[in-house]
Amino acid sequence: MCRIGESCYFWESFCTSEFDKHPMKSFRIAVFALVVASLATNKFAVPFMNTQELAPVVQPARIRAEVSGTVRDRQGREIKGARLRVFDEEGVVLAIGITDRNGEFTFEIPLSQNDSPRRYEVEANYKNLHDVETFSLGTMPQFRYVMLRLKLKPGIVTGSDSELNGVVIKVFYATDRRLSSTPGEFYSGHRDNGDGLHLGTCDVHLPRDHKLGRLELPQIWKLEFKPNPRKHVMVQDVKPESESDFSAELRKDVSASTHKQVLVFVHGYDNTFPDAVRRTAQIAYDLHFDGPTIAYSWPSRGVSWAYSADESTAEWTAPHFRRFLELLATNSPGGSIHIISHSMGTRPVAAALEQLAKVPSKVRFQQVILAAPDIDSEVLRQIGVAMSKVAGRITLYASSSDRMLQLSESLHSYARAGSSGKNIFIMHGIDTVDASAVDTTLIGHTYYADERSIISDIFALIRHGDPPDERFGMKQMDTKEGRYWAFQP
């Protein structure tokens, strides 16, 4: 079975009866499937963009200090891919990233107008090597730029992510999938037409050497036939719960979080239940998200040839997702709710938000992120105004390099909102970000979580709530249709 996440489409709609009724449409679908099948035989990995290569913020609204440096080992050799975190005096993570091929890094740290010099820390980790450097930043010119040289040495940094074999992330889940009898699958790719949703929590293991934006899984070409806790992301335990128990546990975790916030992830096409919870855990960990994280897993078949079935199910799940959001709002009173949706998963999210905007409700969302949305541009334009009424900010990540969205557009004969180029989606109330410059692979359909700069931007968006023109590496683009932003190469 071909598995490249959400990057394969196929021809389930190409059946015998359809060929007789719509020969030209079926011919297009067949050609579409053959192209995808040839692409799907390869594995594609999205390389990280380096913060060193990003352009400065265009017209920043606040003073920002720059922290740059290099990371080397004890022999003085540059280390590529070292994981970096910047902390303030209270231990709050302000920025995340990794070193580039030269072992270099650059961060921009926002400062208040009259900040006196304050102490910060940058922590670097690579395998069993680490180092921590302390420095000062302030608004006075001599404190706005810092150059650091970190030299990693053997040892393990203290904290939950420093255990011998990795870290375990707790993920809440809600699903309308049918229970599965297949070991390790937990919930199947078929719809559960019973009342209500299946609710519960999962324990997901991430390896100690987890790299930012990556979802480490066994690879057959590496002769890896089963997951290894030292190397791979694994679902360790699934605990179904009643709605009352789920709600009580969720309320407790929201109250215990510093920022009183919740993150919901909605996956796209070709995802199993384990795929969904693994990706949710990876995103939560990479974002250093403070608060409970929830995977909403609709019944995608989890196979590349079921595109049409997944399309129908994405529509079918929308009212269930809406009811779940109402349940979530009830159990996180006064807290911020953020939603990240990807690909076909943006469809039930958009539909649910539109419906919530039409009824008297106090349900509101802080950040709504549509990553590589496989949704008709005109459909999103029709419902976008309603969506913006219940969201503090809506951000859309698009790319002209996304081959899967191009193929989807060819199949549907209408533009996808996730595509950029001359038809990039521009609409008041939705911040469109062209991610083409950081999407350098042939097929980058999972760049929302596989590109360092995207993860870093989502981190800044959720942590600080900054608009695009105040976020690192954004360039303002003005056209006759309106304004959007682009990552600078």
| Three-class secondary structure of residue 21 per DSSP | helix
3-state secondary structure 261-290: EEEEEECCCCCCHHHHHHHHHHHHHHCCCC
Higher pLDDT, 303 or 29: 303
Residue range 99-131, pLDDT digits in tens = 888 888 888 787 766 667 788 888 888 876 878
Nearest CA-CA partner of 250 in 199, 175, 322, 195: 199
pLDDT of residue 142: 61
Mean pLDDT of 278-299: 92
User: Poorest-confidence range of 153-162, 252-261, 386-395?
Assistant: 153-162
Q: Which of 92-106, 162-176, 385-399 has the highest mean pLDDT?
A: 385-399
Residue 26 scores a pLDDT above 90: no
According to DSSP, residue 96 is labeled E
For residue 179, how far is the Cα from the chain centroid?
A: 26
The rounded distance, in Å, linking the Cα atoms of 131 and 154 is: 9
Tokens of 419: 């595509």
| Strands 63-72 vs 198-206: parallel, antiparallel or unpaired | unpaired
For 395-448, give the DSSP string. EEEEBTT-HHHHHHHHHHTS-BTTB-GGG---BTTBEEEE-GGG--SS--TTHH
110: CB partners within 8 A, 6+ apart: 62, 63, 64, 464, 466, 470
Q: Which of the four pLDDT bands, split at 50, 70 and 90, describes residue 141?
A: low
* pLDDT at residue number 304: 84
pLDDT at site 38: 44
Distance CA 196, CA 320 (A): 8
For the beta carbon of residue 280, count every other beta carbon within 10 angstroms.
28
pLDDT at 473: 81
| Cα–Cα distance measured from residue 230 to residue 207, given in angstroms and rounded to the nearest whole number | 5
Q: What pLDDT sits at residue 448?
A: 52
Distance (Å, whole) CA 29 – CA 9:
10
Residue written as tokens 């949710």? 280
Q: Which CATH class is domain 51-157?
A: mainly beta
Mean pLDDT of the chain: 79
Whether 457 contacts 473, CB under 8 Å: yes
CATH 2.60.40.10 residue window(s) in the chain: 51-157
pLDDT at res. 41: 39
Residue 85's nearest CA partner among 118, 153, 131 is 131
Domain with CATH 3.40.50.1820 in the chain: 161-487
CATH number of 161-487: 3.40.50.1820
CA separation for the pair 380, 389 (Å, rounded):
14
**3-class DSSP state of 143:** helix
Amino acid identity of 381?
R
- Which pLDDT score is estimated for 246? 95
Return the higher-pLDDT residue of 287 and 362. 287
**Rounded Cα gap, residues 475 and 469, in angstroms:** 7
User: Long-range contacts of range 452-455, CB-CB < 8 Å, 24 or more positions apart?
Assistant: 452/48, 452/49, 452/50, 452/51, 452/97, 452/98, 452/212, 452/213, 453/48, 453/49, 453/51, 453/54, 453/487, 454/213, 454/371, 454/397, 455/96, 455/212, 455/213, 455/283, 455/286, 455/287
Gap between the Cα atoms of 181 and 159, Å rounded: 37
Name residues whose C-beta falls within 8 Å of residue 335's C-beta, 6 or more positions apart in sequence.
254, 257, 260, 261, 262, 291
Closest among 159, 166, 235 to 201, alpha carbons compared: 235
In angstroms, rounded to a whole number, what is the distance separating the alpha carbons of residues 296 and 289?
Answer: 17
Residue 166 banded pLDDT, cuts 50, 70, 90: confident
Q: pLDDT, tens digit, for every residue of 208-258?
A: 767 666 777 777 776 666 777 777 788 888 999 999 999 999 999 999 888
Q: Quick count: other Cβ atoms within 10 Å of Cβ 203?
A: 16
Half-sphere exposure of 59 (CA within 13 A, CB side): 7
Confidence band for 425, pLDDT divided at 50, 70 and 90: very high
Statement: residue 36 has pLDDT above 60: no
Which of 2-11, 268-277, 339-348, 466-475 is predicted least confidently? 2-11
Least confident of 51-55, 117-121, 447-451: 51-55
Q: In what order do the strands lie in the sheet with 365-371?
A: 234-241, 198-206, 167-175, 293-297, 261-266, 336-342, 365-371, 391-398, 431-434, 482-487, 474-479
Residue 326 makes CB contacts below 8 A (sequence gap 6+) with 356, 361, 363
> Is-contact 99 77, C-beta < 8 A?
no
Q: What percent of the chain has pLDDT over 90?
A: 35
Q: What is the pLDDT of residue 351?
A: 96
Query: Do 336 and 366 touch, CB atoms closer than 8 A?
Result: yes
Predicted pLDDT at 417: 92
Closest-CA residue to 356 (of 318, 393, 382, 394): 318
CB burial class (10 A; 0-12, 13-18, 19+) of residue 322? Answer: buried
Q: At what angle do helices 243-256 and 318-330 cross, to 10 degrees?
A: 60
**82: Cβ contacts below 8 Å, ≥ 6 apart:** 71, 98, 99, 103, 124, 125, 126, 152
